[in-house]
Structure 1
Amino acid sequence: MISPIIKRNGINYGVVTGIILSLITAVIYAIDIELFLSFWTTLLSLSAFIIITVILLMQTKKQVNNQLSFKEAFTAYFICSLIGIALLVGFKMLLFNIIDPSLKDTLLELTVKYLKDTSNKYGVSASTLNEMITNLRKNDPFSIAEQLKGGFINLFFACILGLIMAFIFKTKNTSQDN
């Protein structure tokens, strides 16, 4: 059974995470769509995610009188991650497929241009580059299916980070740890 504090905090911080990550995406969309391809905007989203989950675990540990097991820490983190990623994926699906479907084509062309520029810098052969571009165009990275797939991949990596964070935030020698 999940503790009400763990569940409540996971849900609340998950909603906050989803809203903040969606706002970052909306601001990128409003300012300059080329920022979708920028490494630092990805780093900004990842930093926001980590900061929120650290605050979640600190607050949760405080609310349970500093008695937080590994399982409880991971559960709070997982609930938060699941909700936050689901909200972000939902927002991106709306943005790319309903709000502005032409954005997909624009981003795809920007991605192809970026691939060509990067490939020229690193000496990638023309046949390899053409194959990469063909696969990119065929798979539509902004489709609903690809957004869902990306969400599951993000959740997988979030779980790995969550295991590390749960280990860091767990109370040493709790009787609930296995």
Structure 2
Amino acid sequence: MEKSLKSVAINYGMYLGAILSLLTVIGYGVSLDLFTQVWFGITFIILVIVVGILSVVQSKKLLGGFISFKNAFTSYFITLLVGAIISALINIIIFNVIDPDASIVLHEKIIESQVERLQSYNVPAEAIAETVEKMEAQGNMYSVGNILQSIIWQLAGFSVIGLIVAAAMKKNPPSSE
């Protein structure tokens, strides 16, 4: 059964990776400005959480309606890991191989949108300048190193959500006495 649980999680991870990659390709093909929109980023976050939950639900069904905390979290985490790796590979291919200039343009657009957002919140000019300086110091957000670092942070953040999902979804079989 353990192998089946992992295959379910891997399949959902591939679905997640395909969906995230499709959104990335659409954003790249339609307008890089999409990447600066808050709703676009929130869409990615919601998709990751929903597909992770679906993976746990499917794993629970596979196990006869019962799933341990460990198996629920494992299903969620494997789904997240596979999806994040696929998405990262697509980002690396698009922004480092196919069109490296797009990553530079996108970096500038993200800084501009951040400045506009901070100005709309009446943040002092010194704080905005400091934020811009930090963003410029980070370099290209879509460099291979930054993408790999992003995967680590995403795994950490979404794992917290995965722990909550696993706790909510776990259901142990009744003990036979």
**TM-score under structure 2 length normalisation:** 0.90
CA deviations on 1:17-71 (whole Å, 9 max, x unpaired) are 1111111111111111101011111121222222222221111111111121111
Q: Which residue of 1 aligns with 2:149?
A: 149
**TM-score under structure 1 length normalisation:** 0.89
| Whole-angstrom CA distance in 2 between matches of 1:169 and 1:120 | 42
| Whole-angstrom CA distance in 2 between matches of 1:8 and 1:124 | 48
Give 1:174 shift: 6.2
| Equivalent runs, 1:92-107 vs 2, <5 Å | 92-107=91-106
2:92 maps to a residue whose letter is M
Q: Which residue of 2 aligns with 1:116?
A: 115
Indicate the RMSD between aligned Cα atoms, in angstroms: 1.7
1:171 maps to a residue whose letter is K
| Whole-angstrom CA distance in 1 between matches of 2:28 and 2:73 | 33
State the number of aligned residues. Answer: 174
Q: Which residue of 2 aligns with 1:25?
A: 24
Give 1:163 shift: 0.5
| Whole-angstrom CA distance in 2 between matches of 1:26 and 1:158 | 23
Secondary structure, in 3 states, of the residue corresponding to 1:68?
Answer: coil
Unmatched 5+ stretches in structure 1:
none
Deviates more, 1:32-41 or 1:107-116: 107-116
The 1:167–1:86 alpha-carbon spacing in structure 2 relative to 1, beyond 3 Å, is same
Q: Which residue of 1 aligns with 2:167?
A: 167
Secondary structure, in 3 states, of the residue corresponding to 1:67?
Answer: coil
